[in-house]
Amino acid sequence: MTELKRRFYEWLDTKLIPEWDKAWRMLSVQWTAVMGVATTMWLAVPDSDRSAFASMLGINPGYLLLAGMAVNIYLRLKPQPKLHE
């Protein structure tokens, strides 16, 4: 490992949670990635199709985003034993 890489990892250890190098095992990180992709896809859909989808669901899509954020908070607070394997 190069000196620069070692120093960078040491810096990350001081700024992030101890398990930062296992972040993809965390459900909250996985869920955030899913939400990011879903949001990007939603924004790529034309406005007319978004309106049709929202009326078909009968719910404001903002509420779906709010629910997704609540799930993310729950997953972040939930114990995640995979981090310690």
* In a domain? residue 7: no
Domain count along the chain: 1
What pTM, to 2 d.p., does this model score? 0.69
* In a domain? residue 9: no
Tokens of 2: 């190069």
- Boundaries of domain holding 32: 22-84
* In a domain? residue 60: yes
* In a domain? residue 10: no
* In a domain? residue 32: yes
* In a domain? residue 37: yes
19's CB contacts (< 8 A; 6+ apart) are: 25, 26, 83, 84
For residue 40, name the pLDDT band (cuts at 50, 70, 90): very high
pLDDT greater than 70 at residue 1: no
Q: Look at residue 66 and give its three-state secondary structure.
A: helix
* In a domain? residue 58: yes
* H or E element that contains 44: helix 27-44
- CB neighbourhood size of 23 (10 A): 14
